[in-house]
């Protein structure tokens, strides 16, 4: 099959690799109809976590609309032809973590994640023609007919992650909100947050194009670039009696974004962190968090499985249309170049959908 194989920082190539095979009776194989690239993939793609990937071997991608093409003998819930999606992480549904709703921490699968390198189960990714799905009955999901193919990859990661973060923020109708990081998932979270409150919603991002999107969603968009950040923070303080916002939703997934989230939070605020933090050495100020009595809720290693039902519900009720963040529709052959555009945050680039 054809797959996007990682070779080094910002270097993937479409190559012929062996087709995935059923290795266990509980496996099945899906053909990729639509895949995508997540912001979290950039840690791997950029070579920032080199110890997690294997050049010449690792394939990326954990977002998918797929069609079942082969089932193992122990698979009961799925048949060839079913249209399906998986949450980005593989969960068994039965271990102590899964039963507690911590599906991303599944003990049985060892926190396996599709296309996330050797550190997370060394599974093939969705930026390929076929993907092997282990523990299929326990975490794969059939997709209702009312949800079109292009929406389905958002069920794997972005929309559940946004829903989890907004739910954790528990926004009340008159509470002010700041969303830090307006990439695709941040914008989805912003749209959901906007539905929760009548008060001001602020949105921080360093990229002008993303701020325009946030502005169109009814937020006060603020520049997060180093040269502008002071004035942006002051705008929030001026609008909130000098206190800061009630709820902060962090989707930058970077230490600097987390620091900004702490800065704009008022005393007693909830900081709901949905970003992926892989900067192991970033210092945070316990003093700042202590002195504001912050309620810290980190959900970036999201239990996407537990919020897929919510994401499906949001789509079926037309509460949100995630294709609003899709800016590029490409073929797998065009992925290597598009991934570089995505990594460089080219103007006008938010989310790509990849047709197999």
Distances (CA, A) of 3 to 57, 164, 210, 330, 333: 10, 31, 30, 14, 9
Residue 5 or 188 with smaller CB distance to Zn ion: 188
* Listed ranges 20-28, 108-116, 236-244, 337-345: which one lies at the site for Zn ion (CB under 5 A): 108-116
Nearer to Zn ion, 40 or 299 (CB): 40
- Nearest CA among 243, 34, 255 for reference residue 128: 34
Give, as one character, the DSSP assignment of residue 113.
B
Question: Does residue 98 belong to the site contacting Zn ion (CB under 5 A)?
Answer: yes
CB of 286 to Zn ion, least distance (A): 29
Query: How far is it, in rounded angstroms, from Cα 317 to Cα 99?
Result: 28
3-state secondary structure at position 233 = helix
Of positions 12, 22, 106, 269, contacts Zn ion by CB under 5 A: 106
Q: For Zn ion, which is the closer residue by CB, 63 or 129? A: 63
Minimum distance of Zn ion from residue 22's CB (angstroms): 21
* Site for Zn ion contains 60 (CB under 5 A): no
Least distance CB 123 / Zn ion (angstroms) = 14
- What 3-state DSSP class applies to 15? strand
Q: Contacts for 218-222 with beta carbons within 8 Å, 24 or more apart?
A: 218/194, 219/179, 219/190, 219/194, 221/182
End-to-end CA distance of the chain: 11
CB of 153 to Zn ion, least distance (A): 10
Size of interface with Zn ion, in residues (CB under 5 A): 9
Residue 64 in the binding site for Zn ion (CB under 5 A): no
Q: Which is nearer to Zn ion, 152 or 269 (CB)?
A: 152
Min separation Cβ 106 and Zn ion, Å: 3
DSSP collapsed to 3 states, 250-265: ECCCCHHHHHHHHHHE
| Binding flag, residue 95, Zn ion (CB under 5 A) | yes
Closer to Zn ion by Cβ: residue 188 or 224: 188
Q: Does 157 bind Zn ion (CB under 5 A)?
A: yes
89 versus 263: smaller Cβ distance to Zn ion:
89
278 binds Zn ion (CB under 5 A): no
Window contacting Zn ion (CB under 5 A); options: 90-98, 176-184, 213-221, 286-294: 90-98
**182-204 as b/e: b if 16+ CB within 10 A:** bbbbbbbbbbbbbebbebbbbbb
Cβ atoms of residues 190 and 274 within 8 Å: no
CB of 199 to Zn ion, least distance (A): 29
Contact 352, 36 (CB under 8 A): yes
**Judged by CB under 5 A, which of 4, 29, 34, 38 binds Zn ion?**
38
- Contact between 92 and Zn ion by CB under 5 A: the answer reads yes
CA distance 224 to 206: 4
Q: Tokens standing for 260?
A: 């900004």
Residue of 49, 54, 70, 108 interacting with Zn ion (CB under 5 A): 108
Query: Contact residues for Zn ion (CB under 5 A)?
Result: 38, 40, 91-92, 95, 98, 106, 108, 157
């Amino acid at each position: 099959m054809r797959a996007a194989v990682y070779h080094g920082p910002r270097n993937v190539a479409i190559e012929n690799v062996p087709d995935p095979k059923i290795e266990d009776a509980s496996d099945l194989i899906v053909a990729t109809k639509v895949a995508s690239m997540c912001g979290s993939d950039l840690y791997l793609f950029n070579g920032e976590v080199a110890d997690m990937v294997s050049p010449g071997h690792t394939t990326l991608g954990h977002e998918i609309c797929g069609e079942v093409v082969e089932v193992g003998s122990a698979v009961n819930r799925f048949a060839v032809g079913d249209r399906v999606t998986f949450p980005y992480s593989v969960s068994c549904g039965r271990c102590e973590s899964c039963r507690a709703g911590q599906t991303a921490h599944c003990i049985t699968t060892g926190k396996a994640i599709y296309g996330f390198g050797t550190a997370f189960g060394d599974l093939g990714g969705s930026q390929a023609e076929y993907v092997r799905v282990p523990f299929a009955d326990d975490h794969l999901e059939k997709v209702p007919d009312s949800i079109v193919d292009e929406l389905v990859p958002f069920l794997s990661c972005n929309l559940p992650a946004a829903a989890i973060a907004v739910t954790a923020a528990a926004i009340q109708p008159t509470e002010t909100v700041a969303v830090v990081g307006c990439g695709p998932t941040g914008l989805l979270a912003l749209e959901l947050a906007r539905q929760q409150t009548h008060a001001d919603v602020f949105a921080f991002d360093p990229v002008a194009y993303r701020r325009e999107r946030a502005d169109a969603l009814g937020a006060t968009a603020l520049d997060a670039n180093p040269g502008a950040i002071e004035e942006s923070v002051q705008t929030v303080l001026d609008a909130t009696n000098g206190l800061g916002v009630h709820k902060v939703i962090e989707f930058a997934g970077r230490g600097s974004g987390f620091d900004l989230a702490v800065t704009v939070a008022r005393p007693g605020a909830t900081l709901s962190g949905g970003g992926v933090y892989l900067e192991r050495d970033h210092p945070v100020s316990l003093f700042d968090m202590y002195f504001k009595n912050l309620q810290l809720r980190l959900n970036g290693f999201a239990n996407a499985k537990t919020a897929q039902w919510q994401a499906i519900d949001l789509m079926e009720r037309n509460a949100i249309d995630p294709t609003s963040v899709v800016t590029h529709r490409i073929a797998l052959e065009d992925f290597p170049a598009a991934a570089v555009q995505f990594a460089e945050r080219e103007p006008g680039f938010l989310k790509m959908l990849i047709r197999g």
